[in-house]
Amino acid sequence: MKYSYFPGCSLEKNAAAYDVSTRAVCKPLGIDLVEIEDWNCCGATEYISLNLLASYSLIARNLAQANKNIGVDQVVAPCSACYLNLRKTDKYMHESPDLSKKVNTALAAGGISYQPGSVKIKHLLDVVVNDVGYDTIQAKVTRPLNGLRIAPYYGCMIVRPEFGASAGNGKPLDNTEYPMILDKLLQVLGAEVVDFPLKAHCCGGHMTQISESTGFEMIRQIVKGASDYNADLIVTLCPMCQLNLDAFQGGMNRHFKTSFQMPVLYFTQMIGLAFGMDAKALGIGDELVNARSALAKIGVEVPEPETPKQKRPTKEELPMPHMPKEG
């Protein structure tokens, strides 16, 4: 199964662990990723806030670039925001010949064009559970995640809004209020899945940067929810959700004077672990909230963080003055 791969900007650096684990598990799953050549940012939720046509043109350039992968008519995006933006552009261009014409006039300035509906856009989770399938995955599990309590967290943009069949994208992926596909996947991997009421709530997106108290409150609800249900960790499928719940968890704790320590990993990392892969090869250890004690439950050792090597003073350098030791 060949797919044009759109990693998105987050997966280049802040969510490199998602990219690494995606590539690692796609091999055994038989998913052949062909990265879209010279892809650009999808504009997240920012470009569309200021420019409509430029935003759609920015996104459509990626779809045009995807068409350069001859014989591959499906695009896979691991980031929910990228996934939504790509699908939305395709849908609205499909529905509005006028928009399609304008976007193509803009694209022509860069010597490219895009015919809406000519590629199918899928989220990575969709590809894993529907194109590969639960049975194939289950057959490859060598280290079941037995005893690990997981809060499955979908966030918003993979399940909402349901862009239906109009752009040739088939049926809605899952229920918009209470999705189950990630729950089932984690069960297949052997985990104990928490019936998590906040699974499709919002992580706050860019809100920590716009209104800190609003952003932190949304993070708090989800982390506290998972903690109340005695989850060992949250598993997510979006780099923005991971960033908010993991990297901002410390700031959120300070803001509310709480002390949550809820690790947040990607579903691809969980697949890799269940397939017996090495934690480090899956980018585990990159998270700011340590997953060590959680993963110890399934006998997985999380690599120690690499401490920066201290430079030894050379003979030519003067020794640094020391305070006399007491006692």
Partner 1 sequence: MTETSVSPPVNTISNTSFLEKVIAATPGESHLELCIQCGTCGGSCPSGADMDHTPRGLFALITAGMKDTVLKSNTPWFCVSCYYCTVRCPQEIHITDIMYTLKRLAVQEKVYDDSTAPDFSKTFINWVENYGRAFELGLMSMHMLKHNPFGVFKVADMGVGMITKGRMAFRPTRIKGINGLKAILNKAKELEVAA
Closest CB 140 distance from partner 1, rounded Å? 29
Q: What part of residues 168-187 is at the interface with partner 1 (CB under 8 A)?
A: 176-177
Site map 229..258 versus partner 1, x via CB under 8 A: ------------------xx-xx--x----
Q: Which of 256, 255, 261, 266 shows the shortest CA–CA distance to 292?
A: 261
User: Applying CB under 8 A, does 99 fall inside the site for partner 1?
Assistant: yes
Closest CA to 243 of 76, 13, 5: 13
Is residue 109 part of the contact set for partner 1 (CB under 8 A)? Answer: yes
Q: Ramachandran region of residue 168, left (φ > 0), alpha (ψ -120 to 50) or beta? A: left
How far, in Å, CA of 230 to CA of 226, rounded?
7
Residue 279 found at the interface with partner 1 (CB under 8 A): no
- Which range in 124-132, 188-196, 263-271, 280-288 contacts partner 1 by CB under 8 A? 280-288
Minimum CB distance to partner 1 smaller for 33 or for 289: 289
Which position among 20, 77, 79, 107 is part of the footprint of partner 1 (CB under 8 A)?
Answer: 107
Interaction residues for partner 1, span 111-170 (CB under 8 A)? 111-112, 156-157, 160-162
Q: Per CB under 8 A, does 293 bind partner 1? A: no
**Cα–Cα distance measured from residue 96 to residue 99, given in angstroms and rounded to the nearest whole number:** 5
Question: Which DSSP letter does residue 130 get?
Answer: I
Give yes or no for residue 35 binding partner 1 (CB under 8 A).
no
Contact status: 96 vs partner 1 (CB under 8 A): yes
Site residues for partner 1, 76-95, by CB under 8 A, read 91-92, 95
Minimal distance in Å, beta carbon 232 to partner 1?
A: 21
Of the candidate residues 24, 25, 33, 44, the single one contacting partner 1 (CB under 8 A): 44
Residue 120 phi, psi dihedral angles, 5° rounding? -100, 130
Among 2, 23, 102, 292, binds partner 1 (CB under 8 A): 102
Least distance in Å: CB of 293 to partner 1? 18
In whole angstroms, how large is the CA radius of gyration of the chain?
22
Q: Which long-range contacts (CB under 8 A, 24 or more apart) does 293-301 make?
A: 294/148, 294/232, 294/233, 294/263, 295/148, 297/147, 297/148, 297/232, 298/143, 298/145, 298/146, 298/147, 298/148, 298/273, 299/143, 300/143, 300/273
